[in-house]
Amino acid sequence: MELMQMASIGQFAVGATYRDYIDERRRSWVSSSARPLITTIWYPTDEVAKVKKQCIAVFQTGHYAINATISQQQPRYPLILVSHGTGGSSASIAWLCVRLASAGFIVAAINHHGNTAAEPKYLLEGMILWWERAKDIRCLLDHLLADEIFAKAIDSERIGVAGFSIGGFTALACAGARLEMNRWKSHCELNQSDSICKLPPEMSFNIAEVWHAIENNPHILAAWPEANECYRDSRIKAAFAIAPVAKGVVSDESLQSIDIPVHLVAGSADDQAAPENNAKLYAAQIPNSTLEILPNVTHYTFLSEGVWWAKLFDKQFLRDPKGVNRRKVHDTTASVAVSFFYKSL
C-alpha cells in the first residue's frame, strides 16, 4: 500500500497484452456469434529491456513491452477500466493507459463493438446504443476478475473507470448517470449544434439516418427498452471523465445521486463537447465532483499523438491549435488522473 501511494508516472516500465473476450449474453450486430470485447491491457512490468516504442495505425501508442510479465514489486495493483470516444479504439486513448500503468495501475481498454476503428466498419447500432458501452465495461470487469493471469494481480477493492467523449459518458454511466433517451429528438430540435445532434465528423451517418434507425432498425428496437436503465457498477469506486458528451439526454436526478468521487477534464476550445453544455453541467450536478478546464485545448487533443506521416495529411484529429502541445496536455491530464485515483481508490 505504501509503495502504491508513492508511485508516480514513469516509476514502472509498462507491459501490454491482448484479450479476445466475448459477452455470451449479447450477440454481435454483424453475425450470430457472441458480442466481441477485444481488449488491450497495460500493466507494470520489470522487463525493462523488452520495452519498445509502439505505434498502431495512425497513432503513437507509447513505450511498452508486448506480453511482458507483470511486475512483482507489489502483490496486487489497482485496476482502471477505460472507454474510448466515438469511432476510436484502445489505441486512440493509449496515451492515458500507458501513463497510468507506469504509475502502478493495471489498465484495460476495450474496443466497443460497432463504434471502433479497430473493426472493418462502423455500425449505426454502435453509434446510437450508448448504454451498451456500460454493459461492455461490466462484462470486461467480470472477465478480468476471472482471468487466469490478471485475477490474482488485481486489487478488487480498488477499481476505477475512465473515458473520453462518449467514453466519458460511459465512465459516468458506470458511476450511476442514467440516460433519458426519449428526450433526444426534442433536445436536438432546440440544440442543433450539440454533438449528439449534428453527429461528430468521424461518423459516416447523418442525423436523419439516426431517427430512421430508431424507428426501423431491429437491433435498435430490441435494445431501446433498456436505454434508460441504471448501469451503476458498485465495484467501481471512482470515475474520471475527459470531455464527456450527452449531458442533454442525461437525467439530472441520476447525476445528483452519484455517490463516488468523480473528476472531469475538458478543453476550453472543445467544439465537439463544449464544456458549457457538458462538463460544467455534469460537475454542477454531481455532488462529489471536481472539474478542470484546460485553456485552448480542443476535443481531439485528447487523442493519442499521431505518427509523423499521418500528421502530414490529417488536420482535424492529429493537429492542435497554435500554442497547444498535445504531449504536454496528455502529461498534465494523466498526472491529474493518477493523483485523483490515488486519492479515491
Contact between 284 and 262 under an 8 Å Cβ cutoff? The reply is: no
Concatenated DSSP letters of 78-130 = EEEEEE--TB--TGGGHHHHHHHHHTT-EEEEE--TTSBTTSSS--HHHHH-T
- Interatomic CA distance for residues 27 and 123, integer angstroms: 14
pLDDT recorded at residue 2: 39
Give the chain's end-to-end CA distance (angstroms, integer). 11
d(CA 239, CA 253): 18
The answer to whether 161 touches 137, Cβ cutoff 8 Å, is yes
* CA of residue 73 relative to chain centroid, distance: 28
The two beta strands, 59-66 and 77-83, are: unpaired
Range of the domain at 265: 2-344
Assign residue 183 the CATH number of its domain: 3.40.50.1820
**What per-residue confidence (pLDDT) applies to 315?**
82
Give the count of alpha carbons within 13 A of 11, CB side only. 17
Q: Tell me, what DSSP letter sits at residue 150? A: T
Q: What is the pLDDT of residue 1?
A: 37
> Strand 34-45 and strand 262-267: pairing?
unpaired
Provide the whole-model pTM.
0.96
pLDDT value at residue 198: 80
Radius of gyration of the chain (CA): 19
From CA 53, how far away is CA 165, in angstroms rounded? 26
Q: In what order do the strands lie in the sheet with 77-83?
A: 52-56, 59-66, 13-27, 34-45, 106-110, 77-83, 154-164, 238-242, 262-267, 289-294
**Predicted local distance difference test score (pLDDT) of residue 29:** 97
Nearest to 273 by CA among 142, 116, 115, 166: 166
- Interatomic CA distance for residues 45 and 68, integer angstroms: 7
- Average pLDDT of each block of 10 consecutive residues along the chain (345 residues)? 60 98 97 97 98 97 98 97 97 98 98 96 95 98 98 98 98 98 92 82 84 96 97 98 97 98 98 95 97 97 96 90 97 97 96
Cβ partners under 8 Å of residue 276, min gap 6: none
Q: What's the total number of domains in the chain?
A: 1
Closest-CA residue to 174 (of 130, 220, 219): 130
| pLDDT value at residue 206 | 85
Residue 159, Cβ density class (10 Å: 0-12 exposed, 13-18 middle, ≥19 buried): buried
In angstroms, rounded to a whole number, what is the distance separating the alpha carbons of residues 27 and 44?
Answer: 33
Residue 146 makes CB contacts below 8 A (sequence gap 6+) with none
Do 141 and 218 meet the contact criterion of CB atoms below 8 Å apart?
Answer: no
Q: Could you tell me if 239 and 175 are in contact, meaning their C-beta atoms sit under 8 angstroms apart? A: yes
Q: Which three cell numbers stand for residue 40?
A: 488491450
How far is residue 277 CA from its own chain's centroid? Answer: 19
Per DSSP, the three-state class of 226 is: helix
